[in-house]
Amino acid sequence: MTVTRHRLAFAAAAAIVVGADQLTKHLALNGLDDAPIDLPGSFRLVLTFNDSAAFSMGGGRTSWIAALALCVAIGLSVVGLRSNRRPTAIGWGVIVGGAAGNLVDRALRDGNGVLGGRVVDFIDPGFWPVFNVADAALWVGIGLLLLATFREERRQAALEAGS
């Protein structure tokens, strides 16, 4: 039963991230096609399309990047589905959801060849490359995994100290 609940947590986290990512990309495509929107500070919303990996590395290799991302997402899904703690399963689910959100773009958006679509980016902080919800989810998921690991280590240390 516990493993089933953790699998559900993993799947729910991934699905929520993909849904939020695709919804915000849809809104960006429909609301930012005319001009960027300036926000407080250096932040703005601006529609861009990315055919490379993080920080514009590997431009023009969209299909290769997508194939690698797909393999990584499958591997991380196996790890996430085997998680024996719910917070860890959620962290892996958020990361896989982020990877899957960008893979949806690679698979369904106009581009060159199989998985050759460009990823929609629209969040421009002004001091960092333009990104999207899926990109942010990758970092949030890593943070959740670190937090879950830290909490588990503290719990184990407390148990050992009490023995």
Active site residues: 121, 135
Please spell the DSSP secondary structure of the chain, one letter per residue. Answer: -HHHHHHHHHHHHHHHHHHHHHHHHHHHHHHSSS--EE-STT-EEEEEEE-SSGGGTTTT-HHHHHHHHHHHHHHHHHHHHT-SSHHHHHHHHHHHHHHHHHHHHHHHSSBSSTT-BPEEEEEE-SSS--B-HHHHHHHHHHHHHHHHHHHHHHHHHHHHHH-
- In whole angstroms, what is the distance from residue 145 CA to residue 141 CA? 6
Q: What's the gap between Cα 16 and its chain centre? A: 11
